[in-house]
Structures are given as structure tokens and as C-alpha cells.
Chain A
Amino acid sequence: MNRRPWALYSAMAFGYAFLYIPIVSVIVFSFNKSRLVTVWGGFSTEWYGRLFRNEQILAAAWRSFLIACSSATVAVVVGTAAGLTLARFGRFRGRGLLSLMNSAPLVMPEVMLGLSALLFFVSLQQVIGWPSRGMTTIAIAHITFSACYVTVIVRSRLTMMDDSLEEAAMDLGARPWKVFFVITLPLIAPALLAGWLLAFTLSLDDLVVASFTSGPGASTLPMLIYSKVKLGVTPEINALAALIMGLVMIVVTIAGVLLHRQQKAATR
């Protein structure tokens, strides 16, 4: 095409502006001196300082971080086992059930996942006295749905991957466990990293499931933000939002560059 498609360019510019203006405006106004959130009153990092002195927010952030780390790690184990099963084990009794249990949470509204997890925990506690609601129950509920996302990533990586290396190792007499840890695991490592990151952010962002499964005194960061947002926009929340969004964007960019390089090295 010789002519420059200006209509296409302006449509794209509109789309990207739509995606980024709200984020940029939160970041800009997080440095605003004025308490009035939309009137510019000069540059200041005051709200960040207040943020780091707010113990309620710090405690909730630490809680969210712990839940996200632990649930992402377990989700990768469960999701890898499920991905391996669905991609490599052929037909077996129960395959349909596993496949259904794996795809259902992906299309299920969060309120349903939250409600069912909570009612389960309450019933379980009545019968065996465990678990009391708090960080453990939130983590378990998070593992359950994020494992399904990990499964999708691992499974698609395994189906794209040729299984001749694994078969060659088997033919040479390697035990299945050895084949998995020496051949398969290094090959799917990028998928595991991507899966872990996805599970981590899903857990870190989740408001709905955590609200259902949390107990007294175990508010996560999204729950705290939600309760404050319901009361209106504050500069402090602006600073917090800017901080989290900035961190996530940096981490995702670094991970993306690493994965990209690794992929390039692998195809060379």
C-alpha cells in the first residue's frame, strides 16, 4: 500500500489513548500536591510518604504478597501435573472429568467461585474443625482457579512441543521420572515462569474470591482498596495504584524480554 492509511492510524491512536490515558492520569495525579484529586497543585511525593507510613496498607500488601507467592507456587505444581496429564497421557478413565474441571473455572463468574469456596470451607469447618477463615482459605481458593490457567499454558506448550526427545530418552532406558526432570521440565520452563507470573498477578488482583473466603482481620490489599474506593478517590490510593501498576509493568516487561531472548536462543 503506497497511500498512508490515516483512518487506520487515527483509529489505533484512539484505541491506545483509551487504554493508557486513565493509567497515566492516575500516575500523574499521584504526584499532585493538592488534596483535590483533579486540580493540579504542584509536584509532591507527599502521598507516597504517607503510604509507606500507613501500617494498615503495608500489612495488607504484605498479606497479599504472601498469598500470591504461595498460591502461585502450588498452582504451578497442580497446573503442570494437569497439563502433563491432558497433553501426554492419552485416553484414560476420568480424562473428560479432569478436562471439564479444568475448563469450568475459566468461564465461571468470580462470584460463583468465591461463594462455592466459602460454603465449602464453612461446611468443612463444621465437620472437622478446620480451616478457620483467613489467609489459608484465600490461598486455597486462589490455587484452585489459577492452577487452571497454568494448565492451559503448560498444555499448549506441551502440545506445540515435539515429544521425540522424550521418546528418545525413554528408548535409551531413562525412567519416566528422570525423563520428566531432565528433558521435559527444562523445555517447558518458560511456560512455567509465565504460568507462575500469571497465577501471581491473578492472586494479587483478586477482590471477589478473597472477599468471600477471607476471615476477620485478614483483609488483602484489593479488599482494602475496594473499601476505600467505595468512599471516593483519594490521593493516597492514587499513589498506591500508581506504585502497583508501575511495578507490575516493570516486572512483566523484564520477564517478557527474558522469555523473548530465551525463545530466540532456542530457535537458533
Chain B
Amino acid sequence: MTRLDGGLGRFWNQVVHNLFRWFGAIGQEFRAHRGRVLVIGIPMFWLGLFFLLPFLIVLKISLTSALFGQAPPYSPIFDLTQDSTLVLRLTWTNYAALLKDSLYLSAYLNSLLFASISTLVALLIGYPIAYGIARAPPLWRLLLLVGVILPFWTSSLLRTYAMIGILKANGLINQLLLGVGIIDAPLDLLYTNLAVYIGIVYNYLPFMILPLTANLMRMDFTLLEAAEDLGARPWRAFLRITLPLSLPGIIAGAMLVFIPAVGEFVIPDILGGPDAITIGRVLWTEFFNNRDWPLASAVAVAMLLLIVVPTLIFEYVENRQQRVEAKR
């Protein structure tokens, strides 16, 4: 609990004063370049109102305590006490709960594990495809590319649903293995961690292949011929030339798979068992099942700090590096 006093009046005075100055500056700018301000204003207004402000509200609610069975189900942050002073009530209990209960830490680690292993597998499956597309003759290249792009456009929920039919006890894989006689009893594939890995790789494989293909298509393959002429074995030429040159494509593809996979809810929820707990599932459960809005908000803030901020910093550094290299 924090108490606001004395300096509060001066503080608000300052805020109002600055707001007026700010509006004045916008007005001046508007008179000078009306169209320009309007164009900038549209996305600024929309994202400011519907993206930035909501996040500040999440931050606020994460600092309140849950009031079950009331609307809204969280405590107000301002309170009027009996001697009519305004009291700001903030509580850290939600964040303390995140640190105390090992469920949240293990959900976070689980998410990272699911995402990183799936990214690696997607790279192993996707690289040969991207390489094959890049080296195919033009017509084949187009057809193969369309073959990757089409699943990219189809619904992730429906494709995850399609995976159930493959993995379940009397699904395609089990029928195939039973038919060939490799196994006597159906394997438990669905509702396991393995199913989650397969689902994530399956869903995000196009995200890995497309940037890799774009990168490999720009590569100068005469370098490989030169290496062969100089006596390098194909594998050595691949490891020393193709792989290093395609590193930017690998990084781009890996980011596109890893980032959405960490916060994924649908795939672990539909394909995974009850122990396939990811951070996305935890937030969903806190909100929909436990109806604990403040705790769900605290999970969201933790996700922002642990997932979104590192990603944005990584992307910023990566972009700057590319710009520096482009200038050279």
C-alpha cells in the first residue's frame, strides 16, 4: 500500500500543463502539414488506444487482488478512506505467487523447451526442402513453393485438428505400424509431449522454409562448383560454404518458429496431455478456469518481460547489424 500526499497537487499541475503544451505542439504541426499529421495520426491513435492502453490496464490489474464473484473481479486501485484521502492500493501478491509456486517457473521452462527443440527439428526437416526448392528449375521451383505456401495460409486450428487423426490410438501412424507388424499394440502418441513437438513442427514448418528458401535462392551456387573443382567433397563444401552463407536465413526462420511457439496455446492444449503445461496454457487456465484476472495479468506481464522484450531487443540488434553490413 502506498500513500500519496503533499506533492500530489503540484504533480498533477505539471501533468496538465505539459498535456496542454503537447496538444499545442500537435495543433501547430497540424496547421503546417494537415495531411501528414492525419496519416500519422490514424495508426498512432488506433494502436495507442487499442494496444498500448490495454497493456497499461493489464499492468494495473496485475497489481490488484482478485475479488471472486464480483464484477469486475478485482479490487479497485484507488480507495477513499473515511477522512476522504485518496489511497492507492497496490499489491505484489500476484508476482510473489508467480515466484513461490514452482508451477509457473516450470511452465515457462517447458515452453522454452518445446519451442527450442521444435525449432531445431523444423530446421532439420525444412533445410533440405528449402535447398531443393532453391536449386530446382523455375517451373518446379514455383510448384514446390506453392506447396509450402498453401499450408501456411490454412488455419492452424484445423491443421492441429488434422494431426489428431494421424496420432490417435487408431490413427494413421498406429494403423500403419500395426499393419506392417512393427508393433503389436497401438502406441500412445496423442496427448503426450511428443504429440506437442510434432504439432508445433507441423504447424510452423512453412515459417522455417520460406525465409530459408529466399536466402538460398540468392546464393551463388558457382561457389560450390569452384569448391568441387578444387577437390572439396560435397559435404565439406556444404559445411564450409552453403551453411555459413545461409546463416541469416536460418536465424530468420528460427525466430519465426521459436517466437510464436513459446506462447503457443492451441497446440499443447489440443495435442498435449495434462502435464504438457506451457505458459500460454497457464494464462488461459488462470483466466478462464480459475477466473483469477489479476494473476492472469501478472502472468501476462511476466511473459512481456521474459519473452517479448528479449525478442524485440534481439530483432533490433539483428536489424542494426544487417544495416551496418549492407552499408559496407
Chain A positions within 8 Å of B, measured between CB atoms, are 8-9, 11-12, 14-16, 18-23, 25-26, 29, 37-39, 77-79, 81-82, 84-85, 89, 92, 94, 97-98, 100-105, 107-112, 115-117, 119-120, 122-123, 126, 140-141, 143-144, 147-148, 151, 176-177, 201, 204-205, 207-208, 211-212, 222, 225-226, 229-230, 233, 237-238, 241, 244-245, 248-249, 252-253, 256
Contacts and interface: CB of A to CB of B under 8 A. Distances in A.
Contacts of A229: 157, 161, 164, 270
Contact of A98 (B44, B54, B156, B172): B44
B95 interface: no
Given A201-B153, A229-B164, 16 more contacts: A8-B132, A11-B132, A14-B125, A15-B128, A19-B206, A22-B159, A39-B170, A101-B52, A109-B262, A111-B283, A111-B300, A115-B300, A119-B61, A119-B293, A204-B155, A245-B159
Given A110-B263, A116-B57, A26 B155 contact: no
B54 A117 contact: yes
Contacts of A29: 165
A37 B165 contact: yes
A176 B172 CA distance: 60
B171 interface: yes
A144 B47 contact: yes
21 contacts: A15-B128, A15-B129, A15-B209, A18-B205, A97-B44, A98-B44, A101-B47, A107-B312, A108-B263, A109-B303, A111-B280, A115-B283, A115-B296, A120-B50, A147-B46, A201-B155, A207-B266, A212-B287, A225-B161, A230-B270, A256-B149
Interface in B109-154: 125-126, 128-129, 131-132, 144, 146-151, 153-154
Contacts of B8: none
B297 interface: yes
Given A15-B205, A78-B42, A112-B300, A123 B263 contact: no
A109 B280 contact: yes
B303 A16 contact: no
B67 to A, nearest CB: 14
B315 A103 contact: yes
Interface of B: 35-36, 39-40, 42-44, 46-48, 50-55, 57-58, 61, 72, 125-126, 128-129, 131-132, 144, 146-151, 153-159, 161-166, 168, 170-172, 175, 202, 205-206, 209, 259-260, 262-266, 270, 279-280, 283-284, 287-288, 293, 296-297, 300, 303-304, 307-308, 311-312, 315
